[in-house]
């Protein structure tokens, strides 16, 4: 169990609430993005990561509301 927990800790995991605020940020996210858990928790993920969107953020959010999902690639800068 400890080995599995250690492996999962290095997998990048971030969880956001409905408003986009980060509520979970693990060690893998710290290593990948360079922000500590204290720096990330409570921040809007797209603001923290300066996400580049392939379409306007509003269009993507509208599609999620209408269809329940969106498929594409977001690029953190």
Give the pLDDT of residue 67.
93
Q: What is the CATH number of domain 2-76?
A: 3.30.450.20
Give the pLDDT of residue 3.
83
Give the pLDDT of residue 43.
97
Give the pLDDT of residue 26.
93
C-beta neighbour count of 29 within 10 angstroms: 22
SS (H, E, C) 8-72: HHHCCCEEECCCCEEEEECHHHHHHHCCCHHHHCCCEHHHHHCEECCCCHHHHHHHHHHHCCCCC
Per-residue pLDDT tens digits for 22-76? 999 999 999 999 999 999 999 999 899 998 888 888 898 899 899 988 888 877 6
- Quote the Cα angle for 47-43-26, to 5°: 110
Give the pLDDT of residue 70.
86
Higher pLDDT, 41 or 9: 41
């Amino acid at each position: 169990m400890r080995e599995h927990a250690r492996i999962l800790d290095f997998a990048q995991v971030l969880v956001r609430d409905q408003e986009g605020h980060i509520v979970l940020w693990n060690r893998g996210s710290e290593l990948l993005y360079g922000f500590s858990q204290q720096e990330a928790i409570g921040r809007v993920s797209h603001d923290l990561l300066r996400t580049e969107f392939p379409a306007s953020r509003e269009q993507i959010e509208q599609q999620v509301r209408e269809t329940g999902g969106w498929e594409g690639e977001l690029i953190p800068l």
